[in-house]
Amino acid sequence: MEAEGTTSEWLAMYEGAVQNLIDELGRLPGVGPKSAQRIAFHLLSAETADVKRLANALIEVKDRVRFCGVCGNVAEEAECRICRDPRRDPAVICVVEESKDVVAIERTREFRGRYHVLGGAISPIEGVGPDDLRIRELMSRLSDGQVTELILATDPNLEGEATATYLARLVKPMGLKVTRLASGLPVGGDLEYADEVTLGRAFEGRRSLEF
């Protein structure tokens, strides 16, 4: 065990390029130092073509992807696929926080209207106010009188509820139908494992069964 003058050598554990890749991977969300190391070694022994494909996918995404000028969803053209689709009902706008939420709702195949992506939710703690979200763009979309229903599909948490309440008040003078997604028990879930808020909401929103 010696330590004379070799500290930096000891700290930089891998040689240049490997350590550099581990550092870069470790900056990604949800990738800790151990995962970064595992991924780096996986890539070291992977085919060069596969690694180049990943590198190209990274560069392409920054080169080609932008945000839809209408709804704020991710897009590769001026407008996203949904805004360009003439079969989508322009009278109903579903307001979500992120593009990920659009995908989640699209998977249900239940909704055939349009979207509006806010880019987040109002959160005083994180310093996100109404002006940081795409609310002005939403208001201008609503101004032409074509929209009849606004579905507020922000997350069912504190920030999402606050954002929905804010928007509901803001659009009230317009006389639109404003709805919020139902809260309740997850389908396939176990009643005993539901948290009390969800269970309370499920009671509140109980439906009468028709026979």
| Helix boundaries (H) for 7-98 | 7-11, 16-26, 33-44, 48-64, 81-84
Which residue, 40 or 167, is less far from a copy of itself as judged by CB?
40
Joined tokens for residue 112: 């055939």
Binding mask 112-131 for a copy of itself (x = CB under 8 A): x-------------------
> CA distances (Å), 33 to each of 13, 16, 22, 77, 198, in order?
12, 16, 7, 37, 36
Joined tokens for residue 116: 């509006």
Which residue, 109 or 207, is less far from a copy of itself as judged by CB?
109
Which residue, 107 or 207, is less far from a copy of itself as judged by CB?
107
The structure tokens 């991924």 sit at 39
Binding mask 74-113 for a copy of itself (x = CB under 8 A): xxx---xx-----x----------xxx--x--xx-xx-x-
Q: Does 71 bind a copy of itself (CB under 8 A)?
A: no
Q: Does 37 bind a copy of itself (CB under 8 A)?
A: yes
Q: Does 175 bind a copy of itself (CB under 8 A)?
A: no
> How far is the C-alpha of 34 from the C-alpha of 163, rounded, in Å?
38
Q: What are the φ and ψ backbone dihedral angles of 38, each rounded to 5 degrees? A: -65, -45
Q: Find the binder of a copy of itself among 8, 33, 39, 118 (CB under 8 A).
A: 39
| Span near a copy of itself by CB under 8 A; candidates 61-69, 130-138, 153-161, 162-170 | 61-69
Q: Find the binder of a copy of itself among 33, 54, 182, 204 (CB under 8 A).
A: 54
Q: Find the binder of a copy of itself among 13, 78, 139, 197 (CB under 8 A).
A: 13
Sign (positive or negative) of CA dihedral 109, 191, 203, 95: negative
The structure tokens 């990274």 sit at 58
The neighbour count for residue 73, using CB atoms within 10 Å, is: 22
Q: Does 154 bind a copy of itself (CB under 8 A)?
A: no
Q: Find the binder of a copy of itself among 33, 56, 157, 177 (CB under 8 A).
A: 56
> How far is the C-alpha of 203 from the C-alpha of 206, rounded, in Å?
5
The neighbour count for residue 197, using CB atoms within 10 Å, is: 10
Q: Residues in the site for a copy of itself, rule: CB under 8 A?
A: 1-3, 9-10, 13-18, 20-21, 23-25, 27-31, 35, 37-44, 48, 50-65, 74-76, 80-81, 87, 98-100, 103, 106-107, 109-110, 112
